[in-house]
Structure 1
Amino acid sequence: MENLNIIFAGTPDFAAQHLCALLASKYNIVAVYTQPDRRAGRGKKLMMSAVKKLALANDIPIYQPQNFKLESTLSEFSILNADLMIVVAYGLILPKALLKMPRLGCLNVHGSLLPRWRGAAPIQRAIWAGDTETGITIMQMDAGLDTGAMLSKVICPISAQESSASLYEKLAEKAPSALIDTIDKLIKGEIEPEQQDDNLATYAKKLSKEEALINWRDDAQLISRCVRAFNPWPMSYFKLSDKFIKVHQVSVLDIQTDALPGTILESYKTGIQIATGCGVLNLEVLQLEGKKAMPVQDILNSRRELFAPGRVLCVEGR
């Protein structure tokens, strides 16, 4: 089984790290599927995915279908005659017919401890909900949304100051080796698939920019979790003088106030204190429109008038 032929499907850097581990293993990657190149950045240049870059560097055949609705796309996949397919943050829906084509089926690396947080944004939703731990689940794919039988899990704690970016890094360190170990055990018949309990399932819906708009009526702890969950995308933000200000870093202060939610209480070099629906939020790193993210001390040096104590910020939000 050392010549096991694998098709890999993935798109972002998180997926590329798994592909890198597979390339260093004893298994043979016969093809890579990744999303079509997208235009991005200020110049709207056509950009290839991290997975495509890695595949090109290793001379692996690359396929970038818009979807799998055409019979010709499925036939193309079938001709590859793979033993196994590995899917990591691919971003396209795979039809049931395709899932049955590889001899050993299709495995998915999912960023949560299933059945909790099935869906598109499991890492962000775990932080948003205040979970104290999450992890990686490697499962057999079926026609449902992250409903397949589980083969292995890796647990990862979520720290009090965790952002989605830092949690991605933690999981990216643990998951690739867990994937290789799971494949090894699967082909040796050393894993007994475990069915998920649908009664325990929660859904991690896709993030939106609208959802990232801060509602100062929310309590300070919830806003803090949202700031961390939405970093690096779409980034929490609030309105000030018809401008949108992105929030990169905050802390919750052990202070009580009767001020209206959204009221600026104090503006210090250590942070801008804002009253919320419950508690006080301390803004520490902000990004003004057209500027880079900066500590509030630097912003107050030139734009202190924007954050004068007593000013009430717009409270609208989710």
Structure 2
Amino acid sequence: MKNKIVFLGTPKFAKIILEKLILSRHKPVLVITSPDKPVGRKQKLTPPPVKVLAERKKIPVLQPEKLDEEFINKLRDNSYDLFVTAAYGKLLPKKLLDIPRHGTLNVHPSLLPKWRGSSPVQYSILNGDKETGSTIMLLDEKLDHGPILAQERLEIKKSNTAPILSDKLAKHGAELLTRTIPKWLNGKIEPKEQDHGAASYTKMLTRSDGKIDWTMPAGSLERKLMALTPWPGLFTFWNDKRLKILSFDVKNKRSSQPGKVIRENRSLAVETGRGIILIKKIQLEGEKPKSSAEFMRGHPDIIGTLLGT
């Protein structure tokens, strides 16, 4: 008899995992995702990626505003075997976790207990980690706290931006999940408690996280660019306008005044706490993105100024 599985997830990361489940023997009978939200300048009401996929595959979809008693009671009316979550976006209450006979599994894109929370992919890059991985855990009421069922490592390449690494981890985690589910349902896995004393945490990223501190070393700013692209991106201020630094190279050259704009090999460059960055693409508030050379032609007065003040 086929197991009745419910999938809870919202963004592209979760969509990739749902795709794998659909192609496996573990196609969900129900998908729960976040409500449609206004997106872009025109604030067009847009469904989450998971909903789009589920509807295309003729899987019923629920989009509760709240995981309240009324909603939980609706789920209780069905005999579900397993819940699977991936980037759903909300902590699940115990009453909901207790519904499926075999509990609730979560796909987390880090090697728990390292980088619990909402931004593990970005923090792995920011921290300069050489590797990350996927963890399949049994959810409890606390944040990324439950026992581990399976875990596998994945190398972080220097060229990996957060979106690229996120996609890799989604595919990596999906493969691990589809191998773990049958073992778990057949009682062949003994959950392993996390080392809670070794736990580290991430926080929800905000736009202010993208503000550049020019006293940081150039190498650290490069990691920040990879981690925070495309959102919130890196920015500073010049002449009271937001200046987005869209791409740059790092050069190990002595710097004397962090934030000072200089000319280096016909390119716009900025001194940092250690080394300089050679700007490749830049965008001033109210303008289109421009190459370093194009920006200098339009704004030659930027040379010699101090950014971020």
| 1:20, distance to aligned residue in structure 2 (A) | 0.9
Matched, 1:72 2:67: no
Aligned partner of 1:303 among 298, 304, 309: 298
Q: Which moved more, 1:233-242 or 1:3-12?
A: 233-242
Q: How many residues in Structure 1 have an aligned counterpart in Structure 2?
A: 309
Please name the residue that 2:34 is paired with: 35
Alignment of 1:58-137 (within 5 A): 58-68=57-67, 70-137=68-135
Please name the residue that 1:280 is paired with: 276
CA distance in 2, matches of 1:277, 1:12: 36
| 1:169, distance to aligned residue in structure 2 (A) | 2.2
Please name the residue that 1:190 is paired with: 188
Q: 1:228, 1:249 within 8 Å by CA — same for their partners in 2?
A: no
* Letter of the structure 2 residue corresponding to residue 23 of structure 1: I
Structure 1 residues 262 and 173: alpha-carbon distance in aligned structure 2, compared to 1, 3 A threshold: same
* Letter of the structure 2 residue corresponding to residue 183 of structure 1: I
| 1:53, distance to aligned residue in structure 2 (A) | 0.3
Structure 1 residues 314 and 194: alpha-carbon distance in aligned structure 2, compared to 1, 3 A threshold: same
1:228-267 per-residue CA deviation (whole Å, 9 max, x = no partner) reads 1111211111112222122232222111122x11101215
Q: 1:67, 1:93 within 8 Å by CA — same for their partners in 2?
A: no
Q: Does the residue aligned with 1:20 lie in a helix, a strand or coil?
A: helix
CA distance in 1, matches of 2:42, 2:264: 37
CA distance in 2, matches of 1:140, 1:173: 19
Alignment of 1:1-318 (within 5 A): 3-68=2-67, 70-258=68-256, 260-268=257-265, 271-300=267-296, 302-305=297-300, 307-308=302-303, 310-314=304-308
| 1:62, distance to aligned residue in structure 2 (A) | 0.9
Share of identical aligned residues, percent? 36
* Letter of the structure 2 residue corresponding to residue 100 of structure 1: D
Q: 2:255, 2:273 within 8 Å by CA — same for their partners in 1?
A: no
| 1:171, distance to aligned residue in structure 2 (A) | 1.2
Q: Does the residue aligned with 1:204 lie in a helix, a strand or coil?
A: coil
Q: Does the residue aligned with 2:187 lie in a helix, a strand or coil?
A: coil
- Tell me, which stretches of 5 or more residues in structure 2 are unaligned? none
Q: 1:4, 1:28 within 8 Å by CA — same for their partners in 2?
A: no
Q: 1:30, 1:82 within 8 Å by CA — same for their partners in 2?
A: no
CA distance in 2, matches of 1:42, 1:86: 34
TM-score for the superposition, normalised by structure 1: 0.92
- Tell me, which stretches of 5 or more residues in structure 1 are unaligned? none
* Letter of the structure 2 residue corresponding to residue 274 of structure 1: V
| 1:125, distance to aligned residue in structure 2 (A) | 0.7
1:179-234 per-residue CA deviation (whole Å, 9 max, x = no partner) reads 11111221222222111001110001111111210011222222221111111211
* Letter of the structure 2 residue corresponding to residue 312 of structure 1: L
CA distance in 2, matches of 1:297, 1:179: 48
* Letter of the structure 1 residue corresponding to residue 252 of structure 2: D
| 1:268, distance to aligned residue in structure 2 (A) | 4.6
